[in-house]
Chain A
Amino acid sequence: MIRFESVSFRYRADAPLALDDVCVTLEAGEVVAVVGANGSGKSTLARLCDGLLEPTSGRVLVDGIDTAAPESLWDVRSMVGMVFQDPDDQIVGTVVEEDCAFGPENIGVPSAEIRVRVDSSLAAVGLQGLERREPHLLSEGQKQRLAVAGALAMRPRYLVFDEPTAMLDPAGRRAVLEITERLARAEGHGVLVVSHDITGIARADRVIGLDSGRVVFDGGPDGLLGDAGMMALLGLALSPAARLAAALRERGLDVPLSAADAESLVASLWR
């Protein structure tokens, strides 16, 4: 489990708190969405998960290990994989499989084992067949999946995604969303996703809402989607499909709050 114990963080001594007394957890096997307006502290929270940032006060524990303890930093980093918004920031290899192998090579994994990890990681994100492709010839969606594969090759227990779909088209967005869900539910990873994407939020197991660095919501997505005031505070707008669902509820139809995309809306109407 990743556990934040009363974590506060500021970027500079004279800067305001970016996170203020945050207590949250992420368990293996669950997808937790982190939401909040621009500047609310979401990316800061993500970067605290693997010791990229250290708390100003409080503790972050990854399976009981303190991320601020210098001697355990590499253990923590190998337990928590990070995927950022812009895959170009983390792609280093000249071909796909080499990029994917970079992390395990760096920590001295034997080459036969690297082969196994690279093949399974690329298969997990649907990039098999593109092993020899140059990363710059991939589409943005494929690049983001390569970034995910690179993180997976480190065999992390937890994966932290900072707005992984912001630069993607809707098809790429759906593909990445499905991968994050499969990693949690079928493979038991704990997955934390920073996102504004309502479809992803509606399908998460739990949602953590941040406002000016404080946790103002921690609960299931239905509780959030049904609370217009909280949605506004967190800088979220209902998706057009969710607004259509609301218009149908007003007409007396039984449409669940979780029907935030066209597919689940239509499925819920005609079962």
Chain B
Amino acid sequence: MALILDDIVCEYATGTALAAVALDAVSLTLSRGDLVVVLGPTGSGKTTLLRAAAGLLSVSRGRVEIDGLPASGRGSARGAVGLLFQRPESQFFSLSVAEDCAFGPRNLGRTPDEALEDARDALSAVGLDPVTFGPREPWSLSGGEARRAAFAGVLAMHPRYLLLDEPTAGLDAEGRRSVCEAIESARAGAGVLVVTHDAEMFLDSADRVLVLRAGRPVFDGDVPALLEALPRLSEAGDVDPPEVPRALMLARERGLLAPGTLTLDIDRAAALIAEGLSSGGARS
């Protein structure tokens, strides 16, 4: 049971002068409980990848399969997938936050009471108190609250696969934390695919990282392998390194620290830097 992208190619405006290949030979397997992070600069095909995985976009080559069923068309498994768009505020349409969140589960056949229950649970899971926020008009929410409410609307459907486009963009520290906690708890029953520039927030718990450049995978592996490849990926402009390894890389580029492995761990990095300083070239 998995969401499988098998060697897919996606094109926009096929057959016209504007035709452009947005994804080229991308493969990915997302099983329940997995957290897969997709990185890459703006325009590298990350959002296209999510849309293809959700069956919203037909592929011109390859195959998208969700638990053994096609991702789109008749007999598709589309209900199994929850997709959170980059600007989720644009997907509200009900008069209250609770109703908006309950719409998805209602559509999947839950009774009105059950659907409201799903909505309340989901709002709590993203750190929005359902008593305070449930009756609010979606348009009265601040940007960060709206993002979390839209995420709750997706979680309320209990999708088996969660596809999230920049879920932490524009959120304050607490918002980012609650979204990440909600993702972690959803992961118990779902596979999660996250497209993000906020690598810091997700790499600690990621099982796998895919890096795209102009629609092609240039890295596919786990986090230790990513850290090893980071200087190369950073040099090529494919990944903006998280700050802790970035500080180590900068120090090494300047010859101030002996070459060695990179880490995301703050204490280990502090130890490496302190060691480098005491062995010469130090100011203090």
Contacts and interface: CB of A to CB of B under 8 A. Distances in A.
Interface stretch (B109-117, B185-193, B236-244): B236-244
Given A39-B144, A39-B145, A169-B41, A244 B247 contact: yes
Contacts of A265: 247
Contacts of B170: 85, 163, 166-167, 196
Interface string A158-169: 000001001111
Contacts of A36: 172
Interface string B224-242: 0000000000000100101
A266 B143 contact: no
Interface in A146-178: 163, 166-172
Interface stretch (B49-57, B207-215, B267-275): B267-275
B282 interface: yes
B277 interface: yes
Given A11-B140, A269-B273, A262 B243 contact: yes
A262 to B, nearest CB: 4
B281 A167 contact: no
A232 to B, nearest CB: 8
A38 B284 CA distance: 40
A15 to B, nearest CB: 8
Contacts of A253: 273-274, 277, 284
A39 B142 contact: yes
Given A11-B140, A254-B284, A266-B251, A244 B270 contact: yes
Interface stretch (A48-56, A95-103, A109-117, A233-241): A233-241
Interface residues of A, number: 43
Interface range, B side: 35 or more
Q: Which of B140, B141, B176, B274 has the most CB of A within 10 A?
A: B274
Nearest to A167: B169
Contact of A163 (B41, B143, B244): B143
Contacts of A166: 143, 169-170
Contact of A86 (B41, B87, B172): B87
Given A140-B42, A169-B41, A269-B283, A239 B243 contact: yes
A101 to B, nearest CB: 25
Contacts of A169: 41-42, 197, 240
Given A169-B197, A248-B270, A139 B43 contact: yes
Interface string B126-162: 0000000000000011111100000000000000000
B172 A235 contact: yes
Interface string A18-51: 0000000000000000001111000100000000
B218 interface: no
Given A141-B42, A265-B247, 9 more contacts: A39-B145, A166-B170, A169-B240, A236-B172, A244-B247, A244-B273, A251-B274, A253-B274, A253-B284
Interface of B: 41-43, 86-87, 140-145, 166, 169-177, 197, 200, 237, 240, 242-244, 246-247, 250-251, 254, 256, 266-267, 269-270, 273-274, 277, 281-284
